[in-house]
Structure 1
Amino acid sequence: MKAARLILKIFLVISVTVALTIMTQVGGVIYLASLLLYPFINRFRGWWIRLSSKLIAFIILYVISTLLLIPPLAKQFGRVPLPVIGNHHVQPAVLFTALANRNYVKPELKKIVYSAAEQLNQKYPGSKVNYLDASFPFFDGFRLWPHLSHNDGRKLDLSFQYDDSKTQVATSSVPSFIGYGSSEDPEPGEDNMPLTCSLKGYWQYSLLTHIVSQKKKQDFIVNVPRTKTVIETLAQNKEIVKIYLEPHLKIRWKIRTDKIRFHGCQAVRHDDHIHVQIRA
């Protein structure tokens, strides 16, 4: 019985460590560090108090590490975090992105995004650039799951610019709770890559549109002029080498730049966000 419990505990520790590492890169290490406090916490009476204390200990260690320890360490790897709270008209579309340390980029990419946000705000006062996934703080080649190429601080996803559908007023909110999966579908007669990729057997291409709730989609309208301004401003920067956007949106929005590429059916659809990357 004791052996079975020990095996179960080891399995749970390994599972939690792997899951946190996949989602946040550093969470697994921080979780293992929090285990050092367990001998003291286990002195508390009541399993609920012990469980709560262990969770609180991990959260405290994680927040301190995320805000104070990881940024200066990541700088040694040539990466800096995008702001956790809005700064320079740039903010996370979903707070989880920043809290999970998925917001690290090369310093030059950060400057480019800040500049684009400043130009957007000059043209449309009060506008914000919402960022989505970037890269983890450490190690080139460490993949930011589930992305295929976010592994070196040179790639960044941005959300579209939205208006509230009822008030027609600009909003910094997004229709999806994860920032992805609320797509601007091809219209009849437009280039329909989601259908093409599906017919070729690439089941993952439109997967997010099926598993992410679409209930809030009707509350938002893509503001094309603002979104187009962001894309064109980024495309004008010589350091930006690629922008991923669905072909039907490039044509529909009349965006003229050869930096917009089709990302391939092996990826996921890009009519719910913009992917930008700088030169290596």
Structure 2
Amino acid sequence: MTVVTQIGGIIYLIAILSVKRSAKKRQLKKLAIFSGLYLIATFLIVPNVAPIFGREKITETEFLRAKSFFYKLANRNYVRPKLNESLNQIATKFEKRNSGIKMIYLDANFPFIDKFPLLPHLSHNDGKKVDVSLIYEEPNGKLTNKKPSVSGYGVYEDPTENEYDQNSVCKQRGNWQYDFPKYLTLGTVNKDIEFSEKGTRELVNLILRQNSTGKLFIEPHLKTRLNLKSGKVRFHGCQAVRHDDHIHFQLK
């Protein structure tokens, strides 16, 4: 629970200590206490304490949404105020250009303590990083808010035969984890939609134009395909996981 939510382990320990070993229906009582305390902490206490650590919840709007309620329930939706501001500016500009199309965020950061790992990510540990979904389109070419996986991760826009295959290169070097998120989809959906080059390029360029953006990670073949020239676009390294199912960007 600590690995997944940061605060869950402590709350579970409190729940265990709150119920006597001799109590009837002990497991049920522990579950009830844990659930109640966890929800109170997550939605009432943590948002008010996180600013002490320089972080705040991502402010959702009609243009900016989490892919799943899980990211909010697991306290993985915290960022520094500057990143929060940037997210909303980007989402607003993108929707103005593409009516009704939202910016969808995935994992951001935990609310407390720099360098506390947000697994399976290597760097989401200081409030400066966030993952957002690629943009997809219907068979008729119209942009859509639909995504190809339940979690937002794990369904890749693979390189073509003529594009550089970073996944194969990294795995040949022994980095077996490079495409591990394919096991984290929680189910594939909307199999009729396709990756939108135009929509994703437009979103990426809006991110890159933000003065606060320091780096953006996307798979090398997509960098080439989308004709991204900015020096802010970097390769994340074989020790990480592939980035052709989402975009990662971070503050300077």
Answer whether TM exceeds 0.5 for this pair.
yes
In structure 1, stretches of 5+ residues that fail to align are: 1-19
1:43 and 1:198, CA in 2 relative to 1: closer, same or farther beyond 3 A?
A: closer
- Count of matched residue pairs: 252
Match for 2:177: what amino acid? Q
The equivalent residue for 1:111 is 85
214, 234, 241: which one aligns with 1:268: 241
Q: Looking at both structures, which has the greater relative contact order when contacts are Cα pairs under 8 Å and sequence separation is at least 6?
A: 2
Q: RMSD of the alignment, in Å?
A: 2.0
C-alpha displacement of 1:234: 0.9
Higher Rg of the two aligned structures:
1
Q: Trace 1:82-101 onto structure 2 (pairs within 5 A).
A: 82-83=58-59, 86-101=60-75
Q: Does 1:236 align with 2:212?
A: no
Label 1:256 to 1:56 Cα distance change in 2 as closer, same or farther (>3 A). Answer: same
Aligned to 2:30: 54
**Aligned residue runs from structure 1 range 140-155, under 5 A:** 140-155=114-129
CA contact (8 A) 2:151 2:184 kept: no
Q: Secondary structure at the match of 1:187?
A: coil
Cα deviation, 1:172-191, whole Å, max 9, x if unaligned, reads 34222222111100001101
Paired AA for residue 69 in structure 1 = I
In the alignment, the residues of structure 2 paired with residue 29 and residue 186 of structure 1 have an alpha-carbon distance, to the nearest angstrom, of 43
Kept in 1, the 8 Å contact 2:150–2:189? The answer is: no
The farther-off stretch of 228-237 and 105-114 is 228-237
Aligned to 1:30: 11
Q: Distance in 2 between matches of 1:182 and 1:51?
A: 38
Tell whether the 8 Å contact from 1:162 to 1:174 is kept in structure 2 after alignment: yes
Query: What percentage of residue pairs aligned between the two structures are identical?
Result: 39
Larger helix proportion of the pair: 1
Partner of 1:205 in structure 2? 178
Whether contact under 8 Å (1:182, 1:214) holds in the other structure is no
Q: Are 1:73 and 2:49 matched, yes or no? A: yes
Distance change (3 Å), C-alpha of 1:92 and 1:210: closer
Q: What is the deviation of 1:106? A: 0.3
Tell me the CA shift for residue 212 of structure 1. Answer: 4.2
Structure 1 counterpart of 2:27, one-letter code = L
Q: Over residues 60-96 of structure 1, what are the superposed CA-to-partner deviations in whole Å (9 max), with x where a residue is unaligned? A: 211111111001100111000114xx42511111211
For 1:98, the aligned partner's letter is K
Question: Counterpart of 1:236 in structure 2: which amino acid?
Answer: R
For the residues of structure 1 that align with 2:113 and 2:129, how far apart are their CA atoms?
A: 14
Cα separation, 1, equivalents of 2:245 and 2:134:
7
DSSP-derived class of the 1:206 partner = helix
Q: What are the Cα deviations for residues 106-153 of structure 1, in whole angstroms up to 9, with x where unaligned?
A: 000000010000000110111111111111100111011111111100
Aligned to 2:156: 183
Kindly indicate whether the alpha-carbon contact (under 8 Å) linking 1:120 and 1:226 is maintained by their aligned counterparts in 2.
no
Code of the aligned partner of 2:48: P
**Aligned partners of 2:151 and 2:186 also within 8 Å:** no
What CA distance in whole angstroms lies between the structure 2 residues aligned with 1:211 and 1:155? 20
Q: Deviations over 1:2-29 (max 9, x none)?
A: xxxxxxxxxxxxxxxxxx1111111111
